[in-house]
Amino acid sequence: MSKKKILTIVGARPQFIKLAPLCKKIDQYYQHCVVHTGQHFDDNMSKIFFEEMGIRKPDINLNIRGGLHGHSTGNMLIELEKVYVDKKPALVIVFGDTNSTLAGALVASKLCIPVLHIEAGLRSFDKHMPEEINRICTDHMSTILSAPTQTAITNLTNEGLTKNVYFHGDIMLEAHHYFMKHIKDSHHPSFTNQLNLSHHTFALMTLHRASNTDDKMVLTDIMTTLGNLNIPIIFPLHPRTKNKLTEFNIQCPSNIQCIEPVGYLDMLTLLKETSIVLTDSGGLQKEAFFVKKPCITLRDTTEWVETIHAGANRLVMDTPKKLNRDFLQQAIQSIDQYSFLGAPFGDGNTTDKIMDALG
């Protein structure tokens, strides 16, 4: 009897991480085709991730690069449809909330192919975020919904989605545990030595969301305000942010050390050794929680409300485009008052639960 064919769609850096603990298990029991849309195409944002994390190369790379949301998503729809018609998968797996996620689910839905959405049910309740639209639409097109938290289950229930909804926990937690052990076992070199920083005396920052980077006044305000903080900041530059800093002729303050994007293992090393995290990334908010590092989120909403409730995370934007400088200063000064209550992201065995749901 031939194995059921499963097609997995990835395109962005966090999705490669989520694929890592799942890929080998699917390969073992199913015909498995991994499709990379090409959404992240910079070597430091894509290729290095597959190499350093030991994930096999994608079976298909669509090389769909850049462009506005409609243009890139439209191209993904066209090319993915060709792949689905050719491969005839019994199931399509998508992760998270990117344009690749939406395109992968929409093509499958049109062709009546079941969809498994990993990280279902997240809501920021901010529809100005493209990710919010992507995740809502994907959930409503999916056949199996793998939720990372009980809050996500509640969100799905409130939208009438109750069939084939499972609390599997967060697949990122499982990946995080695996790769933290990998760092320890391989004696991964510390970035702090290369950057001439003492352990635990710097902030780690990532910044890439359009609401923060695409408006010159907003980006200038963020950089100016961060420049007034009395702490060194290590800032791996996302290509979008790097381009906008150049376009707007914004100089990074002297306490912010801009570096090239780093691989996942190097990011985990920085995270392990930092004193506090500054980010607009959903994934990094969680990973800060995993290693019990205080997090300041440069947004006015978060999908990961569990980190707020646990006392581990603070929001410092009054609106999507207005940084509250007082909130930011207070969040920095109260670093010893953060807490990390509970285990809202599951037990770290998400992939086994997902495999059970596949049947």
Catalytic residues: 208
The C-alpha atoms of residue 155 and residue 53 are separated, in whole angstroms, by: 32
Whether 192 contacts 270, CB under 8 Å:
yes
Residues 6+ apart with CB under 8 A from 323: 218, 221, 222, 225, 298, 316, 317
- Angle ∠(339,343,344) on CA atoms, nearest 5: 100
Q: State the DSSP string of 138-159.
A: HHHH-SEEEESSHHHHHHHHHT
Angle at 320 between CA 318 and CA 326, to 5 degrees: 30
Q: Do the bridges between strand 322-323 and strand 317-319 make them parallel or antiparallel, or are there none, so unpaired? A: antiparallel
Among residues 36, 26, 34, 35, the alpha carbon closest in space to that of 4 is found at: 26
User: Amino acid letter at 264?
Assistant: Y
Q: Is residue 57 exposed (0-12), middle (13-18) or buried (19+ Cβ within 10 Å)?
A: exposed
* Closest by CA position to 36, among listed 16, 60, 54: 60
- Degrees (nearest 5) of the Cα angle 92, 98, 99? 80
CA distances from 203 to 56, 227, 257, 269 (A): 33, 12, 10, 13
**Closest-CA residue to 94 (of 114, 115, 71):** 115
Distance between CA atoms of 53 and 37, rounded to whole angstroms? 19
